[in-house]
Chains A and B, each alone.
Chain A
């Protein structure tokens, strides 16, 4: 094809389409909506799964998290009088040391005690989570120190009354005063603030299961594990509307950090079998972020396939709309086709003319669709706090499909036009 003729045909196509502006515009709408919805939906979907993946990644892809879970009550001892006053369950210090010493693929084991308490400073009282843990927590969870320092081995060894607060809690307790070196009170004991942590969405900084208010997100106090053991003991007493029950839990959570991601999936059954041997009941649960991540990725793939099919259908509908209009156009312009044939146009010139017209229509619609498709997610993330990620491949894909649709659905009308008998076409009224 001579490039000059190509340019001419494109210009001609645009002129012909401009002759019926409303009709061309309405025809383009199908493609515009198709392309726009592909990009916008993929951007929103991508944003949602990006957020989910980030959250999981923050849990640490080389970590295995073991939580203590209150086991379901035995059916035999269901009558309240039979129940012992104190329930023992959960992970133990022995579990932690066994894990540390038996599995070679483990890099670190970080045990945690998590106690819900109120923290006070001056007149302020804020409900929070007290987390007793080891200095290695910082490494395993990758938390960022905003100010001061994290817990140290010396703190641990001497069971010192020091604490690290999350920035949000510090703000709530201290207001505009400097929290550093301030002293807060928790359950009759005093702790000196030595550092502050940025909220990064680790598991401890998220609302726990059943926490509908979600107030615990960033109200964390970190103290040395030995201090927690000394000050709070092993037994927690809970009062529930008159009656009260007590639970004895040594460790609420153990975070196991593997040397690499390969070790994670291998270690999971090993950890499970080890726990099984020493626990008579299933009073623990394993969370493997890596597995969650893979599941999230699989979900995302499914999601993309669904979105892709929706997009394909809408573009198909748009394409059929184009074909419909182009067939009408061919009929309407039969005379023009006859004239062009008489003036020396070959069949393939006619095919090219009508094909380019549909491609101009669909690519034009595609371009507008891309613009709107980029605009919509931007507006969505501006108006709501939903995260959206516009991927370059979704733009390319949508645009490519729109061009392809034009060619595919333009072929039939174009060949119809070319196959017209010039004499008949010239006689057409």
Chain B
């Protein structure tokens, strides 16, 4: 990725990121100088075998972890040096998460699950405009008639769609999806991927971690990681310039 293509619409800029874990006496160098720029509205897939550092990459991208060295600009701010509380705020405000195992909160209903990120922004979710937003999102993912269901009463595909609605509720800069179809059968997996495609076509930036070529195919850009470094990048022709 050259500096030229990283125009001012780059929402993510990573410069020389290193991550070193101390496991007993052994130093594990999970990331060894990664540079990455992601522009607004793009759809990036991160691939790699286990141990390649893609999970660490995802954690850092998701502001769940801080790099040992290097800079990470999320929407213009250097996240790499943020305090825990501010990092939490950054996650809540700018990022949406989709997990492999949905990770809905069991004691809450569909609509309440969708509202969770708003709660931590100090938003009164029962105010009409916020209630409407959550309801609209539930309808967007096709669960408008199940607002009061609990996760246990939903199928895997439905749960993942609730999770997608939840990731959108705070209108994030970027949605991070970690193997979103990993726990789904191929038919429902396809539905979920289609939904993600739709979101991207509407302008959402998507970063998706997967080891499934079939899933990665849908992205504009596929970043292959190996040994803590970006080994190569592939631009999927015919998709990348769609926007």
Query: Which residues of B (93-115) have their CB < 8 Å from a CB of A?
Result: 93, 97, 99, 103, 105-108
Contact status B119-A423, CB under 8 Å: no
Query: Which residues of B (131-152) have their CB < 8 Å from a CB of A?
Result: none
Residues of chain B within 8 A (CB-CB) of A346 are: 84-85, 88-89, 120
How many Å from the CB of B6 to the closest CB on chain A?
27
The answer for the CA separation of A12 and B108 in the assembled complex, in Å, is 8
* Residues A422 and B64 in contact in the complex (CB < 8 Å), given A344-B88, A347-B85: yes
Contact status B107-A345, CB under 8 Å: no
Residues of chain A within 8 A (CB-CB) of B89 are: 344, 346
Among B107, B116, B125, B170, point to the contact of A15 (Cβ < 8 A): B107
Residues of chain A within 8 A (CB-CB) of B157 are: none
Among B91, B93, B121, B170, point to the contact of A342 (Cβ < 8 A): B91
How many Å from the CB of B61 to the closest CB on chain A?
12
Which bracket fits the contact residues of B? 20 to 34
| Interface presence of A230 (CB below 8 A) | no
Residues of chain A within 8 A (CB-CB) of B59 are: 423
Query: Which residues of A (327-346) have their CB < 8 Å from a CB of B?
Result: 335-336, 338-346
Contact status A342-B84, CB under 8 Å: no
* Residues A5 and B122 in contact in the complex (CB < 8 Å), given A19-B107, A339-B103, A343-B117: yes
Residues of chain B within 8 A (CB-CB) of A426 are: 64, 99, 103
Among B62, B84, B116, point to the contact of A340 (Cβ < 8 A): B116
Residues of chain B within 8 A (CB-CB) of A339 are: 99, 103, 105, 116
Contact status B120-A344, CB under 8 Å: yes
The answer for the CA separation of A123 and B71 in the assembled complex, in Å, is 114
| Interface presence of B48 (CB below 8 A) | no
Specify the main secondary structure of chain A where it touches its partner. helix
The answer for the CA separation of A335 and B102 in the assembled complex, in Å, is 11
The answer for the CA separation of A349 and B122 in the assembled complex, in Å, is 11
How many Å from the CB of B137 to the closest CB on chain A?
14
* Residues A336 and B92 in contact in the complex (CB < 8 Å), given A5-B122, A342-B62, A423-B59: no
Contact status B122-A2, CB under 8 Å: yes
Residues of chain B within 8 A (CB-CB) of A19 are: 106-107
Residues of chain B within 8 A (CB-CB) of A342 are: 62, 64, 91, 97
Contact status A345-B103, CB under 8 Å: no
Query: Which residues of A (103-146) have their CB < 8 Å from a CB of B?
Result: none
Contact status A344-B121, CB under 8 Å: yes
The answer for the CA separation of A330 and B58 in the assembled complex, in Å, is 25
How many Å from the CB of B122 to the closest CB on chain A?
5
How many Å from the CB of B173 to the closest CB on chain A?
13
Residues of chain B within 8 A (CB-CB) of A347 are: 84-85, 88
Among B84, B91, B125, point to the contact of A343 (Cβ < 8 A): B91
Q: Which residues of A contact B (CB under 8 A)?
A: 2, 4-5, 8, 12, 15-16, 18-19, 335-336, 338-349, 422-423, 426
Further 8 A-B residue pairs, CB within 8 A, beyond A339-B105, A339-B116: A8-B119, A12-B108, A339-B103, A340-B120, A341-B64, A346-B84, A422-B64, A423-B65
The 9 closest A-B pairs by CB, nearest first: A344-B92, A344-B120, A346-B88, A339-B103, A343-B117, A15-B107, A19-B107, A345-B120, A4-B124
Can you spell out 14 A-B residue pairs with CB atoms less than 8 angstroms apart?
Answer: A2-B122, A4-B122, A339-B103, A339-B116, A340-B105, A341-B64, A343-B92, A344-B88, A344-B91, A344-B92, A346-B84, A346-B85, A347-B85, A426-B99
